[in-house]
Amino acid sequence: MNAVQSLGTTSQEGRFQLLVDAVTDYAIYMLDPTGIVSSWNAGAQRFKGYTQDEILGKHFSQFYTDEDLATNLPKRALETAAREGKFEAEGWRLRKDGTRFWAHVVIDPIRNSDGNLLGFAKITRDLTERKKAQDALRESEERFRLLVQGVTDYAIYMLDPTGHVTNWNAGAQRIKGYTQDEIVGKHFSQFYTEEDKATALPRRALETAAREGRFEAEGWRLRKDGTRFWASVVIDPIRNDWGELIGFAKITRDITERRQAQEALAQAQAALFQAQKMEAVGQLTGGVAHDFNNLLTIIVNNLDLLTRNTRDPRDMRLIESAQRAAERGAKLTQQLLAFSRRQPLQPALHNPNTLIEGFEAILRRACGELINLQLALAPRVRSISVDGPQFEAALLNLIVNARDAMPEGGSLRIATSNVTLGEQEHALTEAKPGPYVSITVEDTGSGMAPEILNRVFEPFFTTKEIGKGTGLGLSQVYGFVTQSGGDIKVESTLGQGTKLTMLLPAVDNGEEAVEDDDETVRPARDSAGTVLIVEDEPAVLEVASDIFDSLGYDVLTATDANEAVAVLGGDASIDVMFSDVIMPNGMNGVELSRKAREMRPDLKILLASGYPMSALPAEGLGAGVSFISKPYRWTELAEKLRMLRTGG
């Protein structure tokens, strides 16, 4: 009889037993109602190591660990199967040799047709290898979780496909300020600024990551408290084994400090480049001015020699015209030398407020009627060691530039204050750390574009129309300030005005320095005072009147001493008398001065003469009287008046 014939003659129960015995991947065996093993297949022998003869009649609890026996698990498993119709679980089981394996167990009750419990069918599968793999994966995931949670310099978190936060590490909490409970489930767009939300950047970032496999960028992000930080952001898509998008991994780093350092370095490099450029231009300009001065010296002296031998009126006019042109050329060279820091300075100790107030009338006249000039001079301001006339010329240049930027009128403010430069500010300027006085000229004019700001101090650079400026005004200011050991800063916004600040080294004058002094803001005075001009030559009287008018004085005139005495005897308030020494009708300027001091003891007197001062009978005039030689210029006259006012 062959095998097929033999199987065919076997009963159904026998065929089932053959099937069970042939299974080697599962332990399939029977228990009686008390848990005694009553059958045993090949799979059970392979898993557990017992032969059928060794295990039949033994209680199945010997496969359980001591921990499970201590909790009476075998008994409870059978009770559960009998009561609920099935018991299923996983756990450690023991082999014959005492080693453990991870088992998946199913116990089913076996009942007869009357429902009586006959025993239990028990199926066990060895899942040790699968559990090892699961444990290894779980351990790896736990290590990765601990690694991610331990990172505090980076915000590392996950997003679902729609952009909602699904987990949150310690770095994310430190950088962004949210705890895990506060942020999980919220959309990540709340970290973005309103500007970025308006351009749909969060959505576009996820779309880019999903489409291209990565999104990387830098930009401003928001913390929980609303403050901004500069972030480096990387977003990577996460896909399953079938390529389906299941979310995103997002890494954010706060690089605000690095960005600030880069910006500071860029500013320092720009400042260094500007300083080097200005130094190079200054050296070139100084050389040109020096050579030009030599040429002017030859021209001026030759013209002077020509005037000695020329009698023809036409030739004299031509020579005088050439002399005026040479004087203009000399003025240009002085401005060039100022820019190149090669002008001869005569520094002296000054209170900047006193200099500004003494020059106030001229500044007001320079502004014109459409400009509202205000002074905000801080009290107890430190003294500075500067060349007074050059300081006034620099201030006048700033005022004229501001005026020209406001053709339709506006406000102009001159302010002084004490400041101190630290090491950080020193890195961005030419000035050394220490105490300074700040003199600021701020207007409400047209302002300047950034590309113009970088060139304002270059010689001959101007934005004015041809013929309305040489481009040397701010160059003179730059040269004066830097040669005096200070620095000049300019801030401007197109359409909103310009602010220029001269920083000049302060000198300790024994007064207490106050950094944030209260300012007393007042409009500029309308007049420098009243002057009485005594001159018998109409042309000279007219010129003198024009000069004093330009200096801010209200002008009274007299053509001889008698008229002057009559004016002095009147009710008019007179601050200064300016008189020629040589006059007709008997009384000269010196005699008039004595008479005037008798009438008005506080009157300041300035006498003009073509003779040397030593030749004048000036005894008995006392203080408050000064002399100026003819021919005089308005700058000399302004300096003499300033010295009279200050008692210098």
Determine the structural domain holding residue 38 and report its residue range: 3-128
Least confident segment among 168-177, 224-233, 318-327, 337-346: 337-346
Binned at pLDDT 50, 70 and 90, residue 316 comes out as confident
Give dist(CA 252, CA 173) in Å, integer.
Answer: 11
Binned at pLDDT 50, 70 and 90, residue 169 comes out as confident
Q: Which of 462, 284, 482 is nearest to 390 (CA)?
A: 482
Beta bridge pairs of residue 253: 154, 232
pLDDT score, position 445: 86
Give the tens place of pLDDT for each residue, 43-67.
Answer: 888 888 899 889 999 999 999 999 9
Contacts for 535-543: CB closer than 8 Å, 24+ residues apart: 535/559, 535/579, 535/580, 536/560, 536/580, 536/583, 536/584, 537/580, 540/580
Give dist(CA 414, CA 374) in Å, integer.
Answer: 6
Q: Where are the beta strands (DSSP E) in 180-227?
A: 215-222
Q: Which of 436, 337, 447 is nearest to 382 (CA)?
A: 436
Residue 575 has pLDDT above 50, yes or no: yes
Check if the beta carbon of residue 431 is closer than 8 Å to that of residue 271.
no
Q: What's the whole-number mean pLDDT along residues 493-514?
A: 75
Number of H helices, E strands in the chain: 23, 21
CATH code, domain carrying 124: 3.30.450.20
The share of the chain scoring above pLDDT 70, in percent, equals 70
Residue 185 has pLDDT above 70, yes or no: yes
pLDDT score, position 582: 77
Q: Which residues contact 626 (CB under 8 A, 6 or more apart)?
A: 605, 606, 607, 640, 643, 644
CATH code, domain carrying 606: 3.40.50.2300
Looking at the structure, do residues 222 and 275 belong to the same domain, yes or no? no
Considering only the C-alpha atoms of the chain, give the largest distance between any 2 of them, rounded to a whole number of Å. 174
- Crossing angle (nearest 10°) for helices 634-646 and 388-404: 120
Q: Is residue 428 part of a domain?
A: yes
pLDDT score, position 109: 93
Strands 154-159 and 245-254: antiparallel
pLDDT score, position 614: 47
Q: What's the whole-number mean pLDDT along residues 341-348?
A: 59
Which residue among 523, 543, 568 closes a domain?
523
The structure's pTM equals: 0.38
User: Higher model confidence: residue 366 or residue 214?
Assistant: 214
Give the tens place of pLDDT for each residue, 422-442.
Answer: 765 544 456 678 889 999 999
Looking at the structure, do residues 375 and 519 belong to the same domain, yes or no? yes
The share of the chain scoring above pLDDT 90, in percent, equals 15
Give dist(CA 481, CA 503) in Å, integer.
Answer: 7
Residue 416 has pLDDT above 60, yes or no: yes
| Residue 582 burial by Cβ neighbours in a 10 Å radius (0-12, 13-18, 19+) | middle
Residue 32 has pLDDT above 90, yes or no: yes
Name the phi and psi angles at 615, rounded to 5: -90, -5
180-194, 304-318, 349-363, 586-600: which is most confident: 180-194
Q: Which residues contact 509 (CB under 8 A, 6 or more apart)?
A: 349, 382, 383
Tokens of 348: 């002296």
**Burial annotation 467-504 (CB, 10 A radius, 16+ → b, else e):** eebbbbbbbbbbbbbbbbbbbbebebeeeebbbbbbbb
Residue 72 has pLDDT above 90, yes or no: yes
Looking at the structure, do residues 501 and 390 belong to the same domain, yes or no? yes
Q: What's the whole-number mean pLDDT along residues 482-502?
A: 85
CATH code, domain carrying 361: 3.30.565.10
Q: Which of 524, 465, 452, 537 is nearest to 495 (CA)?
A: 452
Residue 355 has pLDDT above 80, yes or no: yes
pLDDT score, position 79: 92
H/E segment holding residue 279: helix 256-309
Looking at the structure, do residues 289 and 200 belong to the same domain, yes or no? no
Binned at pLDDT 50, 70 and 90, residue 475 comes out as low
Contacts for 555-559: CB closer than 8 Å, 24+ residues apart: 555/530, 555/531, 556/530, 556/531, 556/532, 557/532, 557/533, 558/532, 558/533, 558/534, 559/534, 559/535
Check if the beta carbon of residue 594 is closer than 8 Å to that of residue 568.
no
pLDDT score, position 427: 46
Looking at the structure, do residues 274 and 305 belong to the same domain, yes or no? yes
Looking at the structure, do residues 194 and 321 belong to the same domain, yes or no? no
Q: Which residues contact 218 (CB under 8 A, 6 or more apart)?
A: 230, 231, 232, 233, 255
| Residue type at 439 in one-letter notation | I
User: Higher model confidence: residue 571 or residue 586?
Assistant: 571
Least confident segment among 342-351, 516-525, 561-570: 516-525
Q: Is residue 259 part of a domain?
A: no
Looking at the structure, do residues 437 and 390 belong to the same domain, yes or no? yes
CA 198 to chain CA centroid, Å, is 25
pLDDT score, position 489: 85
Looking at the structure, do residues 333 and 399 belong to the same domain, yes or no? no
pLDDT score, position 540: 79
Give dist(CA 399, CA 59) in Å, integer.
Answer: 111
Q: Which residues contact 527 (CB under 8 A, 6 or more apart)?
A: 361, 552, 553, 554
Q: How many domains does the structure of the chain reveal?
A: 5
Q: What's the whole-number mean pLDDT along residues 73-78?
A: 93
pLDDT score, position 622: 67
Q: Is residue 55 part of a domain?
A: yes
CB atoms closer than 10 angstroms to residue 587: 16
Looking at the structure, do residues 364 and 289 belong to the same domain, yes or no? no
Give the tens place of pLDDT for each residue, 282-300.
Answer: 454 544 544 555 556 666 6
Looking at the structure, do residues 419 and 500 belong to the same domain, yes or no? yes
Binned at pLDDT 50, 70 and 90, residue 106 comes out as very high
Looking at the structure, do residues 269 and 238 belong to the same domain, yes or no? no
H/E segment holding residue 63: none
Looking at the structure, do residues 487 and 580 belong to the same domain, yes or no? no
Q: Which residues contact 405 (CB under 8 A, 6 or more apart)?
A: 443, 445, 446, 447, 497, 498
Write down the mean pLDDT value for the chain.
77
